[in-house]
């Protein structure tokens, strides 16, 4: 299967390890992964901060870059939700842009969705002998409605001890530019999330979104808790031969 990887600007710039893990995982499962070089950013930061014009330009760019592919996989619930949920609202119904968006959006999948719904695998043959807790992230949970897809995948990882995260459905406080526009409330939410993570005794906090992990991980790091954060793709890419993939 020919799959286009939408790496997302955050992963591309700050978390290349997640992209490498996604590529190795998809190849292991028999996919022919392509990386359209012209891709940039889905436009979420601009749209959600109130810069719609720039956001619409980026949305148009995205639809042009990915129009030709059968399936687009994004290792980010938030960016996938932006494209699927918010793109259609950015343009007038019936306009030229609307048709292009309607064409491309159904082909865009978050990674766990693609594995379970399209490839129909819930055991990807991974090995990760650690105690892990999973934060479902808001846009994956309430936007994309990923439900138990990510945890089904994690449960089938050999050696992995999945422990439930208390109040998992509560926002971590990242919220894009919210984290810097309302730093006090964002930090208070992050501190509560961190407390819940620590209560699980997990070594690793996993999520399908590096932006949330950047916030929670940054708080965990500042508090010197020793708990690592890892993207879902990195855990699923880990095997006995390639231990733990790369964990940047």
Partner 1 sequence: MSATFLGMPGNFPQNSALAVQDSQLRYNLRKATHTIRGKRATVVGELSDWAELRAAGKAIKDETLRHLDRYLIQLEEAVTRAGGTVHWARDAAEANRIVAGLVQATGETEVVKVKSMATQEIGLNEALAEQGITAYETDLAELIVQLGDDFPSHILVPAIHRNRAEIRDIFLDRMGDAPPDLTDEPAALAEAARLHLRERFLRSKVAISGANFMVAETGTLVVLESEGNGRMCLTLPETLISVVGIEKLLPSWRDLEVFLQLLPRSSTGERMNPYTSTWTGSVEGQDFHLVLLDNGRTDVLADEVGRQALRCIRCSACLNVCPVYERAGGHAYGSVYPGPIGAILTPQLRGMSSALDASLPYASSLCGACFEVCPVAIDIPEVLVDLRAKAPHGPAERAGMRVAGWIFNDHVRLAKAQRLAGRLRKLVPRRLPGPASAWTDTRDLPEIPAESFRDWWERDERA
Q: In the chain, which ranges are continuous DSSP H helix? A: 9-14, 16-28, 44-49, 52-66, 77-81, 87-90, 96-104, 111-113, 138, 149-155, 178-181, 183-200, 210-222, 232-237
What H or E segment, with its residue span, contains residue 133? Answer: strand 131-134
The answer to whether the CB of 157 falls within 8 A of the CB of 25 is no
The neighbour count for residue 176, using CB atoms within 10 Å, is 16
Query: Which value, to the nearest 10 degrees, does the dihedral of the CA atoms of residues 216, 165, 10, 80 take?
Result: -150
Q: How far is the CB of 180 from partner 1 (least distance, A)?
A: 4
d(CA 136, CA 151): 9
Separation CA 102–CA 87 (nearest Å): 9
- Angstrom CA distances, 78 to 8, 28, 97, 221, stand at 10, 25, 22, 23
In the bound state with partner 1, the residue whose beta carbon lies nearer, of 122 and 192, is 192
| 247 class by beta-carbon count within 10 Å (0-12 exposed, 13-18 middle, 19+ buried) | middle
Which residue among 1, 2, 16, 95 contacts partner 1 (CB under 8 A)?
16
| By CB under 8 A, residue 150 contacts partner 1 | no
Contact pick of 79, 124, 146, 171 for partner 1 (by CB under 8 A): 171
# residues contacting partner 1 (CB under 8 A):
67
Of positions 3, 4, 6, 9, contacts partner 1 by CB under 8 A: 9
Q: Does 88 bind partner 1 (CB under 8 A)?
A: no
Site track 111-140 with partner 1 (rule: CB under 8 A), x = hit = ---------------------------xx-
Q: Is 143 in the site for partner 1 (CB under 8 A)?
A: yes
| Cβ 245 vs Cβ 27: under 8 Å | no
**CB closer to partner 1 out of 80 and 138:** 138
Q: If you search the block for the tokens 């208390």, which residue do you land on?
A: 166
Of these, 6, 25, 31, 46, which contacts partner 1 (CB under 8 A)? 46
32 is a contact residue toward partner 1 (CB under 8 A): no
Kindly identify the residues of this chain, within the stretch 184-243, that bind partner 1 according to CB under 8 A.
Answer: 184-191, 214-215, 217-219, 221-222
For the chain, give me the number of helices (H) and strands (E)?
Answer: 14, 8
Which is closer to partner 1, CB of 134 or CB of 174? Answer: 174
Which of 6, 15, 128, 134 is the binder for partner 1 (CB under 8 A)? 15
Of 142, 161, 225, 242, which lies in the binding site for partner 1, with binding defined by CB under 8 A? 142
Give the footprint of partner 1 on this chain (CB under 8 A): 7, 9, 11-17, 19-20, 23, 35, 37-41, 43, 45-52, 54, 57-58, 61, 86, 89, 138-139, 142-143, 169-171, 173-191, 214-215, 217-219, 221-222, 248
């Amino acid at each position: 299967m020919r799959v286009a990887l939408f790496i997302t600007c955050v992963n591309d710039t700050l978390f290349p390890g997640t992209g490498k893990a996604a590529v190795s995982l998809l190849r292991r499962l028999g996919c022919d992964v392509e990386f359209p070089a012209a891709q940039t950013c889905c436009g979420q930061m601009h749209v959600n901060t109130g810069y719609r014009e720039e956001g619409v330009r980026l949305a148009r760019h995205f639809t042009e870059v990915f129009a030709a592919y059968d399936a687009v996989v994004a290792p980010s619930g938030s960016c996938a939700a932006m494209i699927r949920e918010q793109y259609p609202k950015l343009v007038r119904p019936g306009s030229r842009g609307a048709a292009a968006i309607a064409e491309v959006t159904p082909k865009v999948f978050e990674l766990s969705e693609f594995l379970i719904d399209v490839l129909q695998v819930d055991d990807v043959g991974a090995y990760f002998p650690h105690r892990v807790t999973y934060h479902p992230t808001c846009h994956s949970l309430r936007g994309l409605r990923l439900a138990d897809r990510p945890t089904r995948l994690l449960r089938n990882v050999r050696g992995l001890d999945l422990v439930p995260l208390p109040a998992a459905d509560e926002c971590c406080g990242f919220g894009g530019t919210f984290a810097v526009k309302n730093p006090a409330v964002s930090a208070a939410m992050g501190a509560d999330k961190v407390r819940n993570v620590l209560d699980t005794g997990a070594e690793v906090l996993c999520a399908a979104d590096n932006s949330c992990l950047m916030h929670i991980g940054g708080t965990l790091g500042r508090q010197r808790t020793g708990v690592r954060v890892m993207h879902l793709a990195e855990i699923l890419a880990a095997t006995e031969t390639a231990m733990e993939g790369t964990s940047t």
